[in-house]
């Protein structure tokens, strides 16, 4: 292989890696606007069909448990994630005025899988102002599908001093 062919191959590989990185940024940054607009199907579409969003509910306690709703809950499938968005707990939050904001993630991409580590903030309207209602540590586990990158598992833990949230952040930097 000539020097130019070698350099071109290296450049193509680098462009592919950057395309993956941008696609993952786009996927993560879509979460806030979609969930705050109440678009249940589009929000759920960020996940694989069997994807999990765990915001404090942990693993499913029994096979077939679709969702635990509330401040600490989890949705154990794409359909359950859509139900979470349509559910009364989430609807009360967004109808009161809210903004889900995902911080710029640290990404590790390995072929057709990736891990993102980020902060998240949930702002809620308080009269004429907004207040920070929840700050979380997040681990996003991604897989490449025929339709592009999707979330396989997202773990979100409140940064309340507990070791679990700090451990999510530490693991993401390994």
Domain count, the chain: 1
Of 40-44, 67-71, 80-84, the one with minimum mean pLDDT is: 67-71
Rounded CA Rg of the chain: 18
CATH of the domain at 164: 3.10.450.50
Q: Calculate the average pLDDT of the chain.
A: 93
pLDDT tens digits, residue range 6-30? 999 999 989 999 999 999 999 999 9
Side-chain-side CA neighbours of 56 within 13 Å: the count stands at 14
pLDDT tens digits, residue range 94-127? 999 999 999 999 999 999 999 999 999 999 999 9
Q: What would the two tokens of residue 112 be?
A: 């057709």
Range of the domain at 39: 3-172
Q: CA–CA separation, 35 vs 43, rounded Å? A: 6
């Amino acid at each position: 292989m000539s020097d130019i062919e070698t350099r071109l191959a290296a450049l193509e590989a680098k462009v592919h890696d950057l395309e993956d990185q941008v696609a993952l940024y786009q996927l993560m940054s879509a979460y806030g606007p979609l969930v705050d607009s109440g678009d249940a199907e589009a929000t759920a579409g960020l996940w694989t069909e069997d994807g999990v969003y765990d915001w404090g509910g942990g693993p499913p306690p029994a096979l077939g448990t679709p969702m635990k709703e509330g401040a600490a809950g989890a949705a154990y499938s794409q359909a359950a994630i859509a139900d979470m968005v349509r559910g009364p707990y989430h609807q009360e939050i967004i109808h009161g005025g809210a903004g889900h904001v995902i911080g710029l993630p640290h990404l590790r991409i390995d072929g057709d899988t990736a891990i993102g580590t980020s902060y998240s903030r949930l702002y809620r309207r308080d009269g004429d102002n907004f207040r920070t209602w929840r700050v979380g540590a997040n681990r996003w586990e991604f897989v490449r599908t025929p339709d592009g990158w999707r979330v396989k598992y997202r773990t979100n833990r409140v940064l309340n001093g507990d070791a679990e949230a700090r451990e999510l952040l530490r693991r993401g930097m390994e």
